[in-house]
């Protein structure tokens, strides 16, 4: 079966997520595509940059804006491995991106259908087309593996503290 264009670009977002994973960041990756070309890339760098706004989407949108020399990204699509949070959904609306394609839903913080739907709120001056669940399995897998490892390390640290304090 031939891979769809959305799957093709989502694989690039997954590559970005792998870069975040290598840095110990929550593995979320994003790319902005315009006229069949990636014009912005990003992966989570919150811990690396000590910046709560350094989400994959914000970094990719910033790079795309720099590339085009404009904050208006009309005609562009954002591919991201995890449903955007409220901050990133707001950035999508403000940047005038046309399409959002995401992999895994985020039931705890998703603002593009799960908890809220900021990008399609008709009270705002721009709405974004949403294409959910592209390569959902792969996008979910990398996040699940990361958080399982975090939980395991936390458990081991607690066990180490118990053993260390007992002596």
Catalytically active residues are 57
Alpha carbons 112 and 83: distance in angstroms, whole number? 6
Alpha carbons 57 and 159: distance in angstroms, whole number? 37
Residue of 77, 47, 61, 144 lying closest to 104 (CA atoms): 144
Give the CA count within 13 Å in the CB-facing half-sphere of 84.
Answer: 33
Collapsed DSSP state (helix, strand, coil) of residue 99: strand
Residue 79, both tokens: 């591919």
135: left (phi over 0), alpha (psi -120 to 50) or beta: left
130 close to 100: Cβ distance less than 8 angstroms: yes
Alpha carbons 61 and 7: distance in angstroms, whole number? 20
At residue 100, φ and ψ (nearest 5 deg) are: -120, 125
């Amino acid at each position: 079966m031939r891979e769809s264009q959305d799957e093709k670009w989502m694989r690039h977002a997954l590559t970005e997520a792998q870069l975040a994973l290598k840095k110990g960041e929550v593995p979320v990756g994003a790319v902005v595509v315009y006229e069949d070309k990636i014009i912005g890339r990003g992966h989570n760098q919150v811990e690396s940059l000590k910046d709560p706004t350094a989400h994959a989407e914000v970094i990719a949108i910033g790079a795309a804006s720099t590339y085009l020399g404009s904050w208006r990204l009309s005609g562009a699509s954002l591919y991201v491995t995890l449903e955007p949070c409220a901050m990133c959904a707001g950035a999508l609306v403000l940047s005038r991106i046309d399409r959002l394609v995401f992999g895994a839903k985020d039931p705890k913080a998703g603002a593009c259908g799960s908890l809220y739907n900021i990008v399609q709120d008709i009270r705002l001056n721009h709405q974004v087309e949403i294409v959910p669940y592209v390569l959902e399995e792969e996008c979910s897998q990398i996040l699940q593996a990361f958080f399982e490892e975090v939980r395991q390390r936390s458990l081991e640290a607690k066990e180490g503290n118990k053993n260390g304090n007992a002596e």
